[in-house]
């Protein structure tokens, strides 16, 4: 059963071929037996999972189950779960048991989905390799000497290794799409405001967005349907009905679809195997009747510099809540209140988090606001305008997800700027608030390559539909890492 | 833009992060290289460009001014490092 997709599992549950209790037990046993290879989980929740599975089976017996009831999945450990530790990959929250549920957690429970546990991640979602986690790096199931990408690396690895059929992730600069690409799975960052941020530990509030990660676009459509929706508890949530994404899959045709390839993406820095996969993906869509044209995103080269002002600035503000007073790590024997703050934070946060807090504090400090944050928000508008113009000519934009395949653990750990460039193609969609999806598009030297589709606001249905048609014509998404299907 | 060790110490204090001398030395190099990356922004002409506040130009919603939260003080204080009689404990601030 572990090689089945969410759509297949939902069908098997509906037909009574398997119970949720059986599925959940088997998944928990698999995690127990195999996760030591990957370190994809921070917390496994067998007791809660079994009781949710029993409840799903009972609801089904009573004829009250939704289509996803009883399907197991995992949450990134950034979503607050009432009564279960929410560490966010940080020593700061190592003992933090949330007193409430995130809206996404509540929505998915209401759909009857069964949480198996909470996945490893870069500390406070700051990283592109999962190496910044307090709980140690996650290993890529395709090659355990390599990173799975980040920050949702545990979720990506768990899905790729068939430890769970689906997962939640969050994406501030590529944290769903880049690990999806590096682990050979499908992941979607929705439009900013589509998925509630309430109870999702904040990193950069104007960029953060939760979304689904699974093996297929169809499964991402099913998960997104359960996650998304207006939430009065999130002041930036958009009050707009959720599309029927499953119907959108069937409603999408590639014939006549206008696909744009941004010419700026095909310069230096993209590995040859990645370029080949993007070109091959364009060819697959062209064969199905798409019109592939060149588009221009002239300011895309400024995405990384803009991001490394906006994200650290917002992070430095968001993370000021960790004061050693109300929750989280507190140092021993504080001399005075300043010592309490400074040592609690110095001990609780890891190197990369501190680095970003420092950059953000500097950018927001007196005399620098205009030169950094204001300038960045202006360029952000220019980047957004580039997309608006491009979407007057095309329906979707196709490009690489990550410039390279999975890199060796340790290779970029001491060079923050080279690590930041991992997200050169993904960041712009966050800055503009647009939906974007990564899907498996082939292999280079035995490692998965992902390609990215960016859509216009609230065009998740079309992105998922295009990816679904692509996946009906290809089998890259069906490939499993060595030893993952036995 | 490069940062001197004194500037790094000042920012660390503003950020309420205790730092060692070793870290100050490492950070002044690392933060300078990040700021060098960020300085690429200067290449863009942003004259008369309105800074983005929300990708879809949404404004903050207002809601009726009614109480929606219930008192959960005990529940919230259960996860605090140090509390006594419903109060959060910190080192003495006022002599």
Mean pLDDT of A297-303: 95
Structure tokens at A193: 């405001």
Domain that includes residue A233, residue range = 6-259+393-478
Number of compact structural domains in chain A:
1
DSSP-derived 3-state class of residue A436 = strand
ipTM of the complex: 0.95
Residue from A362, A376, A427 to probe the interface with B (highest B Cβ count within 10 Å): A362
A175 is catalytic: yes
Whether residues B55 and A192 touch (CB distance < 8 A) is answered with yes
Tell me the pLDDT tens digit for each residue of A177-226. Answer: 999 999 999 999 999 999 999 999 999 999 999 999 999 999 999 999 99
Whether residues A236 and B76 touch (CB distance < 8 A) is answered with no
Rounded-to-10 torsion of CA B52, B54, B57, B63: -140
**Chain B residues lying within 8 Å of A301, measured CB to CB:** 40
Q: What span, in angstroms and rounded, lies between the C-alpha atoms of A296 and A399? A: 12
- Check pLDDT > 80 for residue A481: yes
Mean pLDDT of A92-103: 97
- A444 within domain boundaries: yes
End-to-end Cα spacing for chain B: 42
A235 is catalytic: no
pTM: 0.97
Whether residues B35 and A375 touch (CB distance < 8 A) is answered with no
Instruction: Measure CA A151 to chain center.
Output: 7
Residue A157 Cα distances to A114, A165, A177, A366, angstroms? 19, 11, 13, 42
Question: Å from B85 to nearest chain A CA?
Answer: 14
Whether residues B34 and A345 touch (CB distance < 8 A) is answered with no
**Chain B residues lying within 8 Å of A365, measured CB to CB:** 11, 14
**Chain A residues lying within 8 Å of B42, measured CB to CB:** 375
Whether residues A354 and B17 touch (CB distance < 8 A) is answered with yes
Tell me the pLDDT tens digit for each residue of A337-347. Answer: 999 999 999 99
Residue B51 Cα distances to A89, A236, B46, angstroms? 33, 17, 9
- Check pLDDT > 80 for residue B1: no
Question: Å from B51 to nearest chain A CA?
Answer: 4
* CATH number of the domain residue A459 falls in: 3.90.1300.10
**H or E element, residue A280:** helix A272-287
Output the average pLDDT for chain A. 97
Query: Which residue segments constitute the domains of chain B, with CATH numbers given?
Result: 5-43 (1.10.20)
Whether residues A193 and B58 touch (CB distance < 8 A) is answered with yes
Those residues with Cβ within 8 angstroms of residue A150's Cβ, 6 or more apart along the chain or in another chain? A121, A122, A125, A127, A128, A129, A130, A131, A132, A138, A175, A178, A179
Q: In the 8-state DSSP scheme, what is residue B87? A: E
Tell me the pLDDT tens digit for each residue of A415-434. Answer: 888 888 889 999 999 999 99
Predicted local distance difference test score (pLDDT) of residue A275: 96
Residue A24 CB burial class (10 angstroms; 0-12, 13-18, ≥19): buried
Mean pLDDT of A40-60: 98
Catalytic residue among A19, A76, A129, A402: A76
- A247 within domain boundaries: yes
**Chain B residues lying within 8 Å of A375, measured CB to CB:** 41-42, 44, 46
Residue B3 Cα distances to A127, B8, B30, B32, B34, angstroms? 23, 7, 9, 6, 11
Predicted local distance difference test score (pLDDT) of residue A281: 98
Whether residues B49 and A374 touch (CB distance < 8 A) is answered with no
Question: Å from A381 to nearest chain B CA?
Answer: 5
Tell me the pLDDT tens digit for each residue of A366-385. Answer: 899 999 999 999 999 999 99
Structure tokens at A433: 């608030």
- A116 within domain boundaries: yes
User: Nearest CB to B37: which of A330, A417, A434?
Assistant: A417
- A1 within domain boundaries: no
Question: Å from A7 to nearest chain B CA?
Answer: 33
**H or E element, residue A447:** strand A447-455
DSSP-derived 3-state class of residue A244 = coil
Whether residues A325 and B38 touch (CB distance < 8 A) is answered with no
Mean pLDDT of A262-266: 94
Output the average pLDDT for chain B. 92
Of A74-83, A317-326, A461-470, B52-61, the one with minimum mean pLDDT is B52-61
A151 is catalytic: yes
- A57 within domain boundaries: yes
Q: What span, in angstroms and rounded, lies between the C-alpha atoms of A164 and A88? A: 20
Of A336-340, A397-401, B53-57, B65-69, the one with minimum mean pLDDT is B53-57
- A43 within domain boundaries: yes
- What does DSSP say about strands A41-44 and A114-119: parallel, antiparallel, or unpaired? antiparallel
- A340 within domain boundaries: no
Tell whether omega for the bond before A465 is within 30 degrees of 0, i.e. cis. no
Structure tokens at A110: 């209401």
- What does DSSP say about strands A114-119 and A72-76: parallel, antiparallel, or unpaired? parallel
Q: Any bridge partners for residue A294, and if so which?
A: A261
Residue B65 Cα distances to A234, A285, A439, B62, B68, angstroms? 17, 52, 45, 9, 9
Mean pLDDT of A109-136: 98
B-chain residue closest to A378, CA distance? B51
B-chain residue closest to A362, CA distance? B11
- A345 within domain boundaries: no
Structure tokens at A31: 């995690």
Mean pLDDT of A246-250: 95
């Amino acid at each position: 059963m572990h090689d089945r997709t969410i759509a297949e599992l939902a069908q098997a549950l509906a037909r009574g071929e398997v119970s949720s209790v059986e599925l959940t037990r088997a998944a928990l046993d698999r995690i127990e037996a195999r996760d030591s290879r990957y370190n994809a989980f921070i917390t496994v929740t067998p007791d809660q999972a079994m009781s949710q599975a029993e409840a799903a089976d009972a609801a089904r017996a009573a004829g009250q189950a939704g289509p996803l009831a009883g399907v197991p999945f995992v949450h990134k450990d950034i979503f607050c779960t009432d009564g279960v530790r929410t560490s966010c990959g940080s020593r700061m929250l190592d003992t933090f048991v949330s007193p409430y549920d995130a809206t996404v957690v509540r929505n998915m429970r209401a759909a009857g989905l069964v949480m198996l546990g909470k996945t490893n991640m870069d500390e406070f979602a700051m990283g592109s390799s999962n190496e910044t986690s307090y709980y140690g790096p996650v290993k890529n199931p395709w090659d355990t000497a390599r990173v799975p990408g980040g920050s949702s690396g545990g979720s990506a690895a768990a899905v790729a290794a068939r430890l769970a059929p689906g997962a939640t992730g969050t994406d501030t600069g590529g944290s769903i799409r880049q690990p999806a690409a590096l682990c050979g799975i499908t992941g979607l960052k929705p439009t900013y405001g589509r998925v509630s941020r309430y109870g999702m530990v904040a990193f950069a509030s104007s960029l953060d967005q939760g979304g689904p990660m699974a093996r297929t676009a169809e499964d991402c459509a099913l998960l997104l349907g359960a996650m998304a929706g207006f939430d009065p508890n999130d002041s930036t949530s958009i009050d707009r009905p959720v599309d029927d994404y499953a119907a959108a899959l069937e409603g999408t045709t590639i014939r006549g679809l206008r696909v744009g390839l941004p010419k700026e993406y095909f310069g230096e820095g993209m590995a040859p195997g990645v370029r080949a996969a993007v070109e091959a993906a364009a060819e697959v869509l062209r064969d199905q009747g798409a019109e592939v044209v060149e588009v221009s995103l002239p300011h895309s080269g400024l995405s990384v510099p803009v991001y490394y002002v906006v994200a650290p600035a917002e992070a430095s503000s968001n993370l000021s809540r960790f004061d050693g007073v109300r929750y989280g790590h507190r140092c021993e024997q504080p001399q005075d209140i300043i010592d309490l703050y400074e040592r609690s934070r110095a001990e609780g946060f890891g190197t990369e988090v501190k680095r970003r807090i420092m950059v953000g504090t500097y950018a927001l400090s007196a005399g620098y606001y205009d030169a950094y944050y204001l300038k960045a928000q202006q360029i952000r508008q220019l980047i957004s305008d580039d997309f608006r113009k491009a979407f007057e000519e095309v329906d979707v934009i196709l490009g690489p997800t990550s410039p390279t395949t999975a890199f060796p653990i340790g290779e970029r750990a001491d060079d923050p700027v080279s690590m930041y460039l991992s997200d050169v193609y993904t960041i712009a969609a966050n800055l503009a608030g647009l939906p974007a999806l990564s899907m498996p598009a082939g292999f280079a030297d035995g490692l998965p390559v992902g390609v990215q589709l960016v859509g216009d606001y609230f065009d998740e249905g079309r992105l998922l539909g295009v990816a679904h048609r692509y996946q009906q014509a290809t089998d890259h998404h069906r490939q499993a890492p060595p030893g993952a299907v036995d | 833009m490069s940062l001197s060790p004194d500037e790094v110490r000042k920012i660390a204090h503003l950020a309420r992060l205790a730092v060692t001398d070793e870290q100050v030395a490492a950070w002044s190099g690392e933060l300078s290289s990040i700021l060098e990356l960020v300085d690429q922004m200067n290449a863009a002409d942003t004259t008369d460009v309105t800074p983005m506040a929300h990708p879809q130009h949404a404004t903050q919603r207002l809601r009726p001014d009614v109480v929606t939260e219930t008192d959960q003080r005990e529940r919230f204080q259960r996860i605090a490092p140090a509390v006594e009689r419903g109060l959060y404990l910190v080192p003495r601030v006022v002599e």
